[in-house]
Amino acid sequence: MSRHWYDLRVFTRDGDGGNPLAVVPDAVEVGVEAMQKGAAEIGYSETVYLDWPEGAEVPRVRLFTPAAEIAFAGHPLVGTAWLLRNVSPMKAVEALEPPVGVIPCGADDDTGWIDPPPAPVAPSGDPSLALDALGLPTVSGACWNAGLGQQYLMVEACDVGDLAALAPDYDRLRETPFAGGVCVWCFTGDDTARMRFFAPGSGVNEDPATGSAAVALASVLAWGDRFPEERRLMIDQGDELGRPCRLEITSTEDGNVRLSGAVTLEGTREVSV
């Protein structure tokens, strides 16, 4: 049995690049094993399955990498918010419900956004094995654990050169406690940053655009009172993969976060589920 899915590019930069996303709009009677198989067949970093329980005002969202189900991810939710506003007849949808809970969302003609809660932040344990596997000789300061649904290792590189030169040993990285997600980033200006994200334990060696890591970064910056003065940060990611992406995060004084980015529809496809 096959079902159709929407093929999107999320967090495009000036119309180029973006992180591919698959959205299966009808997950009725699709089991978890079939969802995982479908995500592996599609092969994108994330695949979304939408479930509309009878009488529910908020659609439930299941999120799968090629290797595992996850509780929260940014680019799938931003892309789904845009899709529901611009393609689905359900244009009044104002929230989505992934496993971490209900998250407000919205979109206009070009852009989707979500308003997730702040991510928990804590000083990291010993990250030396992960840093060695990344090939990162020095870092700018302390490393942090942060994230919604799952914790990422957040590492600030000293400069863009160190960031661009990363050549991770993914087999070694899988053997560390941070195989599910390592975000390496650095400021490139007062309100701009570059970022790379590695998650070989989730079947994604390097992701071209990682909204959940951007949300975690927003929380780390807010925790350390380092957010740009205008409470807005533009993040570029994916250049090393030939998929330029741009994510925008904004933060209010009370720590709330908005993640947004441009979205493009490529077409519809079919998957066996």
Model pTM score: 0.94
- The whole-number average pLDDT for the span 209-216 is 96
Distances (CA, A) of 171 to 45, 68, 117, 200: 18, 18, 33, 8
Using DSSP's 3-state secondary structure scheme, residue 150 falls into: coil
140 and 180 assigned to the same domain: yes
- CB of 218 within 8 A of CB of 148? no
41 and 82 assigned to the same domain: yes
Instruction: Just list the catalytic residues.
Output: 46
265 and 243 assigned to the same domain: no
pLDDT tens digit string along 75-87?
Answer: 999 999 999 999 9
pLDDT tens digit string along 47-94?
Answer: 999 988 877 889 999 999 999 999 999 999 999 999 999 998 776 789
149 and 107 assigned to the same domain: no
126 and 233 assigned to the same domain: yes
pLDDT tens digit string along 1-54?
Answer: 789 999 999 999 999 999 999 999 988 889 999 999 999 999 999 999 998 887
Domain count, the chain: 2
- CB of 216 within 8 A of CB of 120? no
183 and 91 assigned to the same domain: no
d(CA 63, CA 223): 28
Q: Which domain holds residue 132?
A: 121-255
143 and 233 assigned to the same domain: yes
Could you tell me what percent of the chain has a pLDDT over 70? Answer: 98
148 and 202 assigned to the same domain: yes
Host H or E run for residue 25:
none
180 and 199 assigned to the same domain: yes
30 and 100 assigned to the same domain: yes
pLDDT tens digit string along 145-204?
Answer: 999 988 999 999 999 999 999 999 999 999 999 988 999 999 999 999 999 999 999 889
Distances (CA, A) of 35 to 28, 32, 38, 101: 11, 5, 5, 20
230 and 268 assigned to the same domain: no
What CATH number is given to the structural domain containing 163? Answer: 3.10.310.10
140 and 91 assigned to the same domain: no
d(CA 80, CA 5): 12
- The whole-number average pLDDT for the span 234-259 is 91
Asked if pLDDT for residue 252 goes beyond 70, the answer is yes
- The whole-number average pLDDT for the span 231-259 is 92
